[in-house]
Amino acid sequence: MRNDSEVNGFIFVKSITTDVRSAKGGGRSRKHFERSYESTFEEDKEWIAKEMKDQIWSTVSCLEKQEVKDIEKVYIVLGVESQFVPKEDQSEIRKKIFYQNTLRVIQNLSAEVLSYLNKEHTNLLISCKISDLTRLLNKYKYRMEYFKTVKRISPLLPEEQISKHLKEDKKWTTQSKEVLIELIPNIPTEKKSEYSKRVTQYLTNLDKPANSCCNEDFIITELNGASTKELLKSCNLVFRVTEAPKGVLEQFNSASKGRQKTKRASINGKASSVQFQKAYNNLPIVCILDSGVNRIPQLDGLLLMPLDGYRQIPLFDDDYGKHGHGTPIAYLTIFGENGTVPKARVISYKIYSEYSETVYFEGYMLAFAKYSSEYQPNRSRIFVSSISFKDYNNPVTASIDRWIQENNICAVFAAGNIDPTTVSSYALSGVSCSSYISNHPIQDPAQAVNGLAIGAIAKRELPNSISRINELSPFTTCGTTNGCLYDCQKPEFVENGGNQCRDGTPLGLTSFDKNGELFTNFLGTSFSAPLFANHLAEIVASYGYNIKNAETLKAIALALSYGQLAQCKGFGEPKSLDSFDYDCKALVCSEGNIPLTDTISEKHWKISHRGKITVQIPNLVNSIKLFLVHSDNHYREAIPHLNTYLKVRATKIPHDSAYGRVEMKNPDENKRKSNMKIFEWAFPIRSMGGIWTFSITPELTADISAEHKRATTIRYGCAILLNSKTQTRTKSLTEEVYTLNKHLII
């Protein structure tokens, strides 16, 4: 841990949240632009083709026939129009959902909006009473005005409830498979418990054994297509049905070429004396969610005991393949590749067993909650998992995404790999990596907004290798299938993941396998992820005591990367803290929380909340980069969804323009909808010295209700990188910035 008396280090300053008041609706035109309703499925289109009166009658009829429902309320879909509304800046247009007509219908139904079902938020899952739904028919005579913005009132339709993968599986029509039933979301705990028991009992009566999991959010059972449709027809308490997630681990690391054995006593130069064992107690802890970790000599004193894992797994050792999976990942997390100095200790929490190929995804929730707790003596802020789901699973990934944000942790995931036979086929056909990699999106759970997906680049090459050094590995994945991530980069970062020759020869990473023997050809993004976790551990070891928000840790890692977006490489490959030039650079870090804007109607004021960071910057600084990472606690989306994005405005004293505003070098960054951003300022001639204030303002990607806005808070972390023009300073730039900002330092 860095000594507080050292001046040459990263600088942490205070961030404040301010309220800016303006007249309600000020600056906004009342002119409405075109309206649109986003229809998703054929069944949806057929439903909205009906007259509204028929839609309501059909909905009531369906609900009354269902035998498993809540006697107090029912759950239906409300389809509404979106309306384009101009903002103060006429070049920016946003869509509004909750305006007068829609709100009137929701209020007359005494309904609660539980979830947003699509990207545009035009399909809402709501709860209401059947009696209020029937009473709505009395409004039919006012249909032209009353239902002007409402296009659909219906029960949840099976086309929406059954996952795409299950619907495409022709065998599933008659053959049962393990499925995951998601109950109605965002309801009180007592209701959730009641619904879980009732659905489980219904399945038991059909001789379908079922078990609830994840705080009774899900039920696992075996069903075929016919029995699933019968369940949905009979039950109003089910939200969605998907296939239970199966795990897929690297298929490369069993290659026989390149294997090297060493004596187990040889620990790559690592000492094992009592003195060093005590020194390890100061190292940060990383929790590995994988196939288990074996107690090999190379991990002595660095693998915390006892081994842990999901309760349904009988043994917590590494049972994957010939060389293991979790064990070499643990070694790379601790030492990096070819390292001799440990940067972390590890906890193994096993969530995957090769014998069943089942990912016990509830283990993510249990491990996050257990090992991120401030009351946990072996507390971890970094979690790494290199297990991908065989098929995309939005409900599970959305839950994992929420657990990451709730527990304020850094979760590092392998981006996933293209099948090796497919890679060989591309290579033999002469297709370049850059031509096909973007056609293979990253795998779940790496599509979680708040998780970090790590792709792979090559660090070794031969004349016949597919990739050159520092190019993308031929098997890495890129991009996302989820449009609700908007402009978020996936993967966010890359690390060494190995290379492959055209004849299939692996050029992999070196680590110790589950038998304590050296193996030189571990391949895949599975082994890129722990290398990134090793970088995060290095940051926590030096500055963890100053960091409260996980987003700050991510922002520092972002600042230590190359900082430029590249196709399928995200923000690049992070650099070590040891490479940071404190003489010509300074890194100022800050973090905070911002409530979303709330309109106080009775006072006719709009309250805008902003984060503010003030930093005094010395002369001879030629560029400023602000690396900003955020998350929010809006959990009412049906799939992983970027709900908010941040804008930044800088002012400077002394100033050369009106109000002291400073033009940004990359102004389009404010419009980019992402949770990780880089803002840049540079003066070609004038001095950048002065007191700078960076104002951070949140924006929504899609409209949500006022109630949900009031419940939403942005959590952010930022790192401000200052670059000096010259090396001829009397003291380092970091020292100078530290001295100027002593009164602001935490």
Lowest mean pLDDT among 10-14, 110-114, 440-444: 10-14
Is there a shared CATH topology between the 161-243 domain and the 247-574 domain?
no
pLDDT digits (tens, 9 = 90+) for 146-187: 778 888 999 999 888 999 999 999 999 999 999 999 999 999
pLDDT above 90: residue 605? no
Nearest CA to 213 out of 34, 404, 454, 399 is that of 399
pLDDT digits (tens, 9 = 90+) for 445-499: 999 999 999 999 999 999 999 999 999 999 999 999 999 999 999 999 999 999 9
The two tokens of residue 94 are 């946003």
pLDDT above 80: residue 118? yes
For all residues of the chain together, what is the average pLDDT? 86
Report residue 278's pLDDT band, with 50, 70 and 90 as the boundaries: low
> Quick one: DSSP state of residue 443?
P
Lowest mean pLDDT among 8-12, 624-628, 678-682: 8-12
Q: Are 632 and 643 in contact (CB under 8 A)?
A: yes
User: What is the pLDDT at residue 94?
Assistant: 62
Report residue 655's pLDDT band, with 50, 70 and 90 as the boundaries: confident
- Position of tokens 């392998």? 414
Report residue 44's pLDDT band, with 50, 70 and 90 as the boundaries: low
Paired strand residues for 115: 125
User: What is the pLDDT at residue 654?
Assistant: 82
Lowest mean pLDDT among 356-370, 589-603, 726-740: 589-603
CA distance 8 to 219: 53
The average pLDDT across 225-235 equals: 95
CA distance 509 to 34: 55
Domain 247-574: which topology? Rossmann fold (3.40.50)
Report residue 233's pLDDT band, with 50, 70 and 90 as the boundaries: very high
Q: Are 434 and 400 in contact (CB under 8 A)?
A: no
CA distance 122 to 110: 19
pLDDT digits (tens, 9 = 90+) for 259-277: 344 333 333 434 344 444 5
State which CATH number among 2.60.120.380, 3.40.470.10, 3.60.20.30, 2.40.50.140 fits the domain covering 11-23+583-744.
Answer: 2.60.120.380
User: What is the pLDDT at residue 657?
Assistant: 63
User: What is the pLDDT at residue 565?
Assistant: 73
Computed on alpha carbons and rounded to an integer, the radius of gyration of the chain in Å comes to: 27
User: What is the pLDDT at residue 24?
Assistant: 52
**What are the structural domain ranges in the chain?**
11-23+583-744, 35-160, 161-243, 247-574
Report residue 33's pLDDT band, with 50, 70 and 90 as the boundaries: very low
Element (H, E) at 631: strand 621-632
Q: Alpha helix locations (H) across 162-300?
A: 164-168, 189-205, 225-234, 274-279
Strand order in the sheet with 93-96: 35-36, 82-86, 93-96
pLDDT above 80: residue 707? yes
CA distance 253 to 615: 49
Q: Alpha helix locations (H) across 632-681?
A: none
Mapped onto helix, strand or coil, the DSSP state of residue 16 is strand
CA distance 386 to 399: 18
Lowest mean pLDDT among 170-179, 510-519, 688-697, 724-733: 724-733
The residues, ordered by sequence, that sit 6+ positions from 142 with a Cβ below 8 Å of its Cβ are none
Nearest CA to 691 out of 718, 655, 656 is that of 655
Paired strand residues for 718: 590, 628
Q: What is the CATH number of domain 161-243?
A: 3.30.70
CA distance 746 to 743: 9
Lowest mean pLDDT among 140-144, 173-177, 498-502: 140-144
Lowest mean pLDDT among 1-10, 120-129, 429-438, 632-641: 1-10
Q: Are 165 and 243 in contact (CB under 8 A)?
A: yes
Nearest CA to 615 out of 715, 694, 733 is that of 694
**pTM of the complete model:** 0.91
Report residue 68's pLDDT band, with 50, 70 and 90 as the boundaries: very high
The average pLDDT across 609-629 equals: 93
Cβ neighbour number for residue 310 with a 10 Å cutoff? 21
The average pLDDT across 34-42 equals: 53
pLDDT above 70: residue 688? yes
User: What is the pLDDT at residue 42?
Assistant: 55
Q: Which residue has the higher pLDDT, 513 or 88?
A: 513
Q: Are 36 and 82 in contact (CB under 8 A)?
A: yes
- Position of tokens 């001095």? 687
pLDDT above 80: residue 299? yes
Question: Can you state the percent helix, strand and coil of the chain, rounding each to 5?
Answer: 30, 30, 40
pLDDT digits (tens, 9 = 90+) for 633-647: 999 999 999 999 999
The two tokens of residue 113 are 């909006």
CA distance 326 to 353: 11
Cβ neighbour number for residue 57 with a 10 Å cutoff? 15
CA distance 628 to 639: 24
Q: What percent of the chain has pLDDT over 90?
A: 63
Mapped onto helix, strand or coil, the DSSP state of residue 201 is helix
DSSP 348-415: EEE-B-TTT-BB-THHHHHHHHHHH-TT-TT--SEEEE--EESS--HHHHHHHHHHHHHHT-EEEEE-
pLDDT above 80: residue 139? no
